[in-house]
Amino acid sequence: MKLKTAVTGLALGAALAVSATAGVQAKELKFAFQGTLTSWDPYRLNETFTLGTMGNVYEGLIHRKPNMVIEPGLAVSWEIMEPTRWRFHLRKGVKFHNGNDFNADDVVFSATRVRAEGSDLKTRISADTKAIKVDDYTVDFVSDNPNPIIFSEWGTWNIIDKEWATEHNAVTPQNVGGTKENYLTRHANGTGPFIMVSHEAGVKTTFKPNPNYWGKKQHNLTSVTYTPIGQDATRVAALLSGQVNMAYPIPVQDQKRVNSADNASVLIGPELRTIFLGMDQFRDELLHSSVKGKNPLKDKRVREAIFHAIDINAIQKKVMRNLSEPSSLMIAPSLTPISKDHFPRRAFDPAKSKSLLAAAGYPNGFEIGLDCPNDRYVNDEAICTAAAAMLSKVGVKVKLLAQPKAKFFPKVLAPNLDYSMFLLGWTPGSLEAGNVLRDLFYCPRASKGEAIWAKDSRNKVGKGKFNLGGYCNPALDALTDQILSETNMKKRDEMITKAMGITVDDAAYVTLHQQALAWGVAKGVNVKQRGDNVFDWRYVMID
């Protein structure tokens, strides 16, 4: 035992010496992103940047490689015991940053917390699934129905230390709409390769590598600094002046300039994120509209009219400078068995739009509010202003409210749902259509027979949690249930094609496009770009 300690000590000393020599040449990653990190509570906001950044500090049971393939994370292996019972074997000897051991209790605790009231990540594990501790390093997940892809979204289900959260009174998550903070809002304690050193919301967050990380070290960083820079031009200037050595997104209009500079270049990749307009289809009267006593968006003809009014090619050419792919589906076609042109997008046709509006009883159009983020997606505000101008030509007068995401998300997401139309983007966490059908199209009800988005139980909604428009089609729900538990992949693909056809036909959303990814990287910095726009520092090498 003594010998072992001595050997460990020696090894540690050697490691320290090595890191000390490496420290002579500081390898600092300084990156800037468009938006801010509003909270460090891992279950507060289901949003790519927030979860992606946390993924460097916290870890899930699985991990996604740069090519999105699943590899073991905190779980070493998993197996199906019976169709409804999955067994996960946990990694041994992993420690949280505060020194606590990682074990099955933490997984069971996290499984409860992620589904607790207020969590924005409820959909990570279905409500009927039970997490059962078998021994300290084995956990079973038992559900009512078989689920072939139970772990597909667990890359962003970050595991929290039970003792630490309990000690600091943060057993339940911070609510997305609420303003109440808890200890986890400003503190982080994960198992990941980086440790959060300091966090000033909206100003700067600093990190250092975790010397005790269990995994293989694939980066050579000595520190990481994240600065939110909302202004597009300022972010580009920061990259070109060397103030940061990685910045994203690079606005489409500035990519030529960054590429022509000799100290940086733009890394472009197809993104999996779909940008769309959502519409309130559940209220009997819209919150922000001139139409009183009824809801025009419940009428499919009105939704189609909005579709036909939008000149997506103009948006692609002028706002996105060709760095987008117009889409009729709510998911990138490459993630589905469906070919790109299988479901054509409703064409730009203002005359048809006007006649549809007239047929629905609005020959003179109406007024409506549109909520928009201005620091979340590529040119989000410009897309909204363009859409507003296009809609005004068919008589739909849009009152646009473009806000930073810190104000936009709490307003639009459940439980507030304070909008009439909104612009949002979605990348399915599981990278397949089941997630989209379940999160964006399923009837948002806490229990059967209840009204859609019933006021008192909005926080309890699981399936359909991001179906903010309250679109509801029982036939599609039945199909979705089948898809979620179908293990025959060919049958599953057929059902997905059918389900997607229903969503296109119902005009549940006005789909816009899949945006392209654009990261600005300084010379000498090597990063791996992930299709879901997650920046994983594990693979950053600085020359």
Partner 1 sequence: MNIITRVQDSLFRFFDGDVWYSFTQSKTTIVAAIVTVILMLASLLAPFISVHNPFDPTNLNLMDSFTPPVWAEDGRWAFPLGSDDQGRDLYSTILYGSRLSLFIGFASVAFSMTLGVSLGLIAGYLGGSVDAFIMRVADIQISFPGILIALLIDGLARALLPGESHDEVMVYVLILAIGLSQWVNFARTVRGSTMVERNKEYVQAARVIGVSRLFIMVRHIMPNVMGPVLVIATISLAVAILSEASLSFLGVGVPPTQPSLGTLIRIGQDFLFSGEWWIVIFPGITLAALVLAVNLLGDWLRDALNPKLR
In the complex, which residues of this chain contact partner 1 (CB under 8 A)?
231-233, 236-237, 251, 253-254, 256-257, 288, 311, 314-315, 317-319, 369, 381-382, 385-386, 388-390, 392-393, 398-402, 411, 418
Distance CA 298, CA 476 (A): 17
Dihedral in degrees, nearest 10, Cα atoms 68, 72, 73, 78: 120
Question: Min. distance of Cβ 416 from partner 1 in angstroms?
Answer: 11
Question: Min. distance of Cβ 286 from partner 1 in angstroms?
Answer: 11
Single-letter amino acid code for the residue at 69: V
Question: Min. distance of Cβ 401 from partner 1 in angstroms?
Answer: 6
Question: Min. distance of Cβ 253 from partner 1 in angstroms?
Answer: 4
Question: Min. distance of Cβ 352 from partner 1 in angstroms?
Answer: 18
Distance CA 435, CA 332 (A): 12
**H/E element holding 492?**
helix 489-506
Cβ-based nearer residue to partner 1, 204 or 318: 318
Exposure on the CB side of residue 359, measured as CA atoms within 13 A: 13
Cβ-based nearer residue to partner 1, 385 or 457: 385
Phi and psi torsions of 33, nearest 5° = -130, 160
Cβ-based nearer residue to partner 1, 204 or 407: 407
Contact of 532 with 66, CB cutoff 8 Å: no
Q: Find, among 367, 356, 346, the residue nearest to 302 by Cα.
A: 356
Q: Find, among 34, 48, 39, the residue nearest to 466 by Cα.
A: 48
Beta strands in 294-359 (DSSP E): 324-326
Cα Rg, the chain, nearest whole Å: 24
Cβ-based nearer residue to partner 1, 318 or 491: 318
Bridge partners (DSSP) of residue 248 are: 33
Cβ-based nearer residue to partner 1, 147 or 295: 295
Cβ-based nearer residue to partner 1, 259 or 339: 259
Contact of 450 with 462, CB cutoff 8 Å: no
Question: Min. distance of Cβ 214 from partner 1 in angstroms?
Answer: 43
Question: Min. distance of Cβ 277 from partner 1 in angstroms?
Answer: 16
Question: Min. distance of Cβ 387 from partner 1 in angstroms?
Answer: 9
**H/E element holding 401?**
strand 396-403
Question: Min. distance of Cβ 393 from partner 1 in angstroms?
Answer: 5
Torsion region of 464: left, alpha or beta (phi above 0 gives left; psi -120 to 50 gives alpha): left
Cβ-based nearer residue to partner 1, 65 or 257: 257
Contact of 160 with 12, CB cutoff 8 Å: no
Place of tokens 């600085």: 542
Sign of CA dihedral 285, 449, 130, 65: negative
Cβ-based nearer residue to partner 1, 130 or 288: 288
DSSP string, 361-394: T-TT-EEEEEEEESSSSTTHHHHHHHHHHHHHTT
Tally: H helices and E strands in the chain:
15, 19
Cβ-based nearer residue to partner 1, 257 or 340: 257
Contact of 64 with 259, CB cutoff 8 Å: no
Question: Min. distance of Cβ 367 from partner 1 in angstroms?
Answer: 10
DSSP string, 199-216: EETTTEEEEEE-TT-SS-
Question: Min. distance of Cβ 397 from partner 1 in angstroms?
Answer: 8
Distance CA 24, CA 27 (A): 9
Cβ-based nearer residue to partner 1, 92 or 256: 256
Cβ-based nearer residue to partner 1, 165 or 277: 277
